[in-house]
A and B are shown apart, each in its own frame.
Chain A
Amino acid sequence: MSAVEGAGQIEHCYQCSACVAECPAARKVDAFNPREIVLASLLGVAEHLTAKDSVIWQCATCYKCYERCPQGTRPVEVITALKNIATAEGNAPEETTALRDTVLSSGFLLALSDAVVKRRSELGLPPVPGSRSDLGEMMGR
């Protein structure tokens, strides 16, 4: 867990639920509870959280838990660490890894379509580069 930057103070959590109070995902998704996610990670029983279709992917990454936590636990970064573990185990949602792979292979999230080229020209905007292929190489892919 400490391999992920910013998620190193998990053992300071005293389960106060300050993170839950303003969590937008917790408000809408019954199974999503940042306090329980931190507890499971702390106890080393987080296999269900890194399994396929885990609830962790419902995190809105709004960082309210990061700000409200009195102990510097940073639940959102604990969740980021869990997401990295889930991805390494091949359990991330396909759309998430597909986005990463698009960035690595083309340099951008979105393709430069003919329609966008035309619209940019109509708006008098300068041309933008279509894609860069060297990010994958930089990352050894």
Chain B
Amino acid sequence: MAKAQAKEKGYTLFLGCMVPLRHPYIEASARKTFENLGIDIADSEEFTCCPEPWSVKGSDLEAWLSIAMRNLAVGEKAGRDMMVLCNGCYATLKEAEHIASSDGDVVTAANKRLATKKMKYSGGVGPTHVAQVFAGMTEEIGKSVTMPLGGLKVAVHHGCHILRPAEVMGFDDPFEPSVLEGLLETLGAEVVRYKGYTDCCGKAVRDELVGLELAGDKLSAMEAAGADCVAVVCPACFEQFDLGQVEIKRKLKKAHTLPVFHLCELVALAQGEDAAKLGMERHRTPVKPVTDRLK
């Protein structure tokens, strides 16, 4: 068998849908932090939706795996590991990478689908999450901090799919994670643990009110622990808490005012980047209470 082509350094950025098409400020911060940290990023126009792991996997496993393996094949051809900014993309691509190495019927079916496009995924590159990349370079991140998030009390919401299933995702302990909290401390923030900190944001639940109640329970627990803001690593969780606070007020008549940030945004702020230039005023829950404090 031919030896796999040597993997290039750096990453191909896998944007997915929600970051570039709905929350581009997350992408703006991400690219700025990569620049500041000297992380070499390439783009590809060949990627599609990962695809979304709840509705697509839930309705059509073969289509889900085929499209995911097609994206992995595109990444493999580009020659670098694929970096994602979203737990949904991570869940799909990481699980597909895992399943692709088995010989189940659905893998055979997916391989046939790829063959019609003269494509193949052999496992030469794989997906990684930006949180994982950052966790592996805390020293460089610490050195890049010019405006520490001094005393800012941050509640970390991991989101489910970077943690579980742990044997596939390989990021941290599925019930008592601490890697992300350590990263936030590197930025100068004070991390607050709160009741149910590994619980789900509720985004994937069909009944919207049930999902909002789950998000509201978490926001209440974060507030009770004295948090000034929420840190997430996923645009779906971001939306559930950021836009979610508007919806919770309207539909559940409960008021929360906790600014929500993607990890990349907090790294950018700690690197002295300007919140307005990176589009953070577009968040639905105003970020000003936090950004004013950092001036």
Contact = CB atoms under 8 A, between A and B. Distances in A.
The answer to whether A and B assemble together is yes
Contacts of B116: 138
Contacts of B210: 25, 28-29, 58
Contacts of A138: 66-67, 70, 113-114, 116-117
B56 A103 contact: yes
A92 B22 contact: no
Given A84-B58, A109-B17, A58 B28 contact: no
B232 to A, nearest CB: 15
Interface string A11-33: 00000000000001100110000
A58 B207 contact: yes
B175 A67 contact: yes
Interface in A57-111: 57-64, 66-67, 80, 83-84, 87, 92-93, 95-97, 99-100, 103-104, 107-111
Given A24-B214, A58-B210, A120-B24, A108 B61 contact: no
Interface residues of A, number: 53
Given A112-B21, A116-B21, A63 B160 contact: yes
A62 B161 CA distance: 7
A67 B27 contact: no
A132 interface: yes
10 contacts: A4-B61, A5-B61, A60-B200, A61-B53, A63-B161, A64-B160, A92-B58, A97-B55, A120-B24, A128-B21
A100 B43 contact: no
B205 A99 contact: no
Contacts of A83: 58-59
Contacts, number: 165
A135 interface: yes
A45 interface: no
A78 B113 CA distance: 25
A136 to B, nearest CB: 9
A75 B89 CA distance: 22
B184 interface: no
B279 A103 contact: no
B28 A125 contact: yes
B147 interface: no
A129 interface: yes
B25 A123 contact: yes
A93 B116 CA distance: 30
A72 B278 CA distance: 45
Interface stretch (B98-106, B250-258, B283-291): B98-106
A44 interface: no
Which 7 pairs, one residue from A and one from B, show the smallest C-beta to C-beta distance?
Answer: A63-B164, A62-B200, A107-B48, A83-B58, A57-B206, A99-B55, A87-B59
Given A4-B106, A66-B165, 9 more contacts: A3-B105, A24-B202, A25-B205, A28-B213, A67-B174, A67-B175, A96-B59, A109-B52, A125-B24
B24 A135 contact: no
B77 interface: no
Contacts of B278: 123
A80 B57 contact: yes
